[in-house]
Amino acid sequence: MVLRRSDDGGMPTAEHPAGRSVPTEVQAASELLTALAAPLRLSIVALLDQHGTRCVHQLVDALGVPQPLVSQHLRVLRAAGLVTGVRHARQVDYRLVDGHVAHIVRAALAHAGHGGPASAEPRAAWSPTRVTMA
């Protein structure tokens, strides 16, 4: 698979080798995970999950990064359809489109918090038949 960068600031698009077909839901899941594949974007989603809505300056204050960087990451999240904004005069309040994205991020953060390979608790091999959502 080759990722091609789009010129409109949106998400990169994946091109697959000739003859290989990827199911639509797999492609959509890949694009979702690509949109979330930055620590700052994960942090933005977690803050929006925690607070409901936040404007850019609130996100800047909470994350401690420059406003243009937050705006750039919000643009990626908007392009992926994960966040939406409502304008109030000169301010835009951002929120998650739905709770599914927050659930994915919470699960990823919880998983990351379980420790790495040196963890005393062995991890079982992944199986699609054993996946459960708590």
Domains parsed from the chain with CATH numbers: 2-16+25-104 (1.10.10.10)
C-alpha torsion angle, residues 37, 38, 44, 45 (rounded to 10): 10
Confidence of residue 128 (pLDDT cuts 50, 70, 90): very low
Write the CA distances from 57 to 5, 42, 62, integer angstroms: 28, 17, 9
Backbone angles phi, psi at 71, to 5 degrees: -60, -40
The confidence score (pLDDT) of residue 114 equals 76
In this prediction, residues 14-18 reach a mean pLDDT of 58
In this prediction, residues 28-38 reach a mean pLDDT of 90
User: How far apart (Å, rounded) are the C-alpha atoms in residues 17 and 45?
Assistant: 33
pLDDT for residue 124 is more than 60? no
Q: Which residues contact 78 (CB under 8 A, 6 or more apart)?
A: 84, 85
In this prediction, residues 34-44 reach a mean pLDDT of 93
Question: Token match 């699960």: residue?
Answer: 107
In this prediction, residues 24-34 reach a mean pLDDT of 90
Weakest mean pLDDT among 1-15, 57-71, 96-110:
1-15
Higher pLDDT, 126 or 84: 84
Confidence of residue 48 (pLDDT cuts 50, 70, 90): very high
pLDDT for residue 29 is more than 70? yes
